[in-house]
Amino acid sequence: MPTCFNVEVNKGVARIHMNRPEKMNSMIKEFWIELPETMADLETGGDVRAVVISSEGKHFCCGMDLSVFTDGEGSNKDLEHGRERLNVRELILVLQKTFSCLDDARIPVLAACQGGVIGGAVDLVTACDMRYATEDAFFSIAEINLGMTADAGTFPRIAHVLPQGLAKELAYTGRRMYADEALRVGLVNQVYATQEELINGVMDIATEIASKSPLAVHGSKVMLNYARDHSIRDALDYISVWQAGMHRPETDMVEIFNAKAEKRAPEFQDLAPMSTQLFGAA
């Protein structure tokens, strides 16, 4: 069982719930191992169609726990300088992969945020497909207040969400962006009065996503992320290839038409399981 999360799945929607409110859900060493493992478990089976990340307590997450820096397993001073700094770079890449697993997942990931979303928590939520917040939520790229540059994924992603000037202001000052401003500038999709309303609302959205064709949802995520990272011409070309290879009107599209005619909800086949099944393992 994970140390940092409770995980539950219901009707195609998984909820990853951070469960250390007494520590403001800080990201201890186990967090960096358990999050990608949990995501891998959820997406490889094919039956989970959307994920909601939430947390207990007053604050969503206060970011990296100081114990990660002070547990006595830091850089090896016996190494030659270049090799020691290479180890630091490789550690940062591991931290980045912890959040990239959300961006790279073949299913949508929604973040439900209350209270503080601080430091590494901004890395986390910007790797999600959508973000939702309570009225008391605030976002802070707080690394600048510690004399460091955010390095686990905030900058490459937030620069595609916010205007450049605003992203730089948040990065250079570490100030708090509260929910009303976050909604106005598009960092969050919707603001709710209470945490209960937040969770109910986000779970409803995730359930709606889970009711759609999993292949079409996956294709939409792939295309949106590809368009973000490439030119318009490249993205147009890629979607033509995707549609030619993946889209079969006689399956999900026909099911939608039949369901409408029969006045029922459509039923779609899950995505195929990943991992060993792809290679013929039993």
Contact yes or no for 61/125 (Cβ under 8 A): no
Q: Would you say residue 188 has pLDDT above 50? A: yes
pTM higher than the cut 0.85:
yes
Q: Report the pLDDT value the prediction gives residue 72, as an integer from 0 to 100.
A: 56
The pairs formed by 84-92 with CB atoms below 8 angstroms and a separation of 24 or more are: 92/151, 92/152
What is residue 282's predicted lDDT score, i.e. its pLDDT?
46
Per-residue pLDDT tens digits for 114-152: 999 999 999 999 999 999 999 999 999 999 999 999 999
Contacts of 148 (CB under 8 A, 6+ apart): none
Q: By percentage, how much of the chain surpasses pLDDT 70?
A: 94
- Tokens standing for residue 212: 């759609």
Segment 70-109, tens digit of pLDDT: 665 555 668 888 988 998 899 999 999 999 999 999 999 9
Return the closest-CA partner of residue 32 out of 109, 144, 123. 123
State both tokens at 209.
Answer: 């996503």
Distance of alpha carbon 108 from alpha carbon 17, whole angstroms: 16
Mean pLDDT of 48-75: 85
